[in-house]
Amino acid sequence: MSASDITSDYDRLLDRMRRACSRREYCSADIRRKLSAAGAPSALSGKILSSLKSEGYLDDGRYARAYCRDKSGLSGWGEAKIRYALGLKGIPGPVIDEALSQIDSDAACRRMDAVLSSKLAEIRRSHPGISRGECLSRLLRFAAGRGYSYGEVMESLKRNKS
């Protein structure tokens, strides 16, 4: 492969990644995966990632903040599930902590209450003769899958008198 081919690949892939990053937020791992799928050598991928970061197209902190906001507010995920998902994407722990600290805790609490209240009603509707203990057990399993702790669920139940 000649130097002009490498430069041509670099320019082509950089433009492609710029377009992708201008349409939505990506983290470094997502872009690295896209570049790998496009057949870019690791040295070229590193150079492209550096360029995207220096030009402001790619910022893992910005990605983590947007991800936290979306998953907490729209999907009703708890902190544990968000932390785990961001960790899988290779976001460093301090960046995750900073992003999670910016979640509106009152809105997240209201969202959790709504999600759990809806699930509790669904459990009661689906299983009319269910015992209180079994109902609570099912709700706790559901909540754990959403990233909520036992304490958060019990506080939500107290707030909502469920």
Residues 36, 79 within the same domain: no
Residues 90, 54 within the same domain: no
Residues 85, 117 within the same domain: no
Task: Compute the distance between CA of residue 29 and CA of residue 32 in angstroms, rounded to an integer.
Answer: 5
**Number of domains making up the chain:** 3
Residues 90, 111 within the same domain: no
What pLDDT is stored for residue 162 in this prediction? Answer: 65
Residues 111, 87 within the same domain: no
* pTM, full prediction: 0.85
Residues 109, 97 within the same domain: no
Residues 94, 70 within the same domain: yes
Residues 49, 82 within the same domain: no
pLDDT in tens, 42-86: 889 999 999 999 999 999 999 999 999 999 988 999 999 999 999
Task: Compute the distance between CA of residue 49 and CA of residue 31 in angstroms, rounded to an integer.
Answer: 8
- Mean pLDDT of all residues in 12-25: 95
CA distances (Å), origin 148, targets 17, 83, 123, 142? 35, 11, 18, 9
Residues 96, 119 within the same domain: no
Domain that holds residue 126: 105-159
What pLDDT is stored for residue 159 in this prediction? Answer: 87
Residues 44, 25 within the same domain: yes
pLDDT in tens, 98-131: 999 999 989 999 999 999 999 999 999 999 999 9
Q: Using DSSP, state whether 104 is helix, strand or coil.
A: coil
Task: Compute the distance between CA of residue 122 and CA of residue 23 in angstroms, rounded to an integer.
Answer: 37
Whether residue 147 is predicted with pLDDT greater than 70 in this model: the reply is yes
Residues 54, 65 within the same domain: no
Residues 43, 31 within the same domain: yes
Kindly report the CATH number assigned to the domain that includes residue 36: 1.10.10
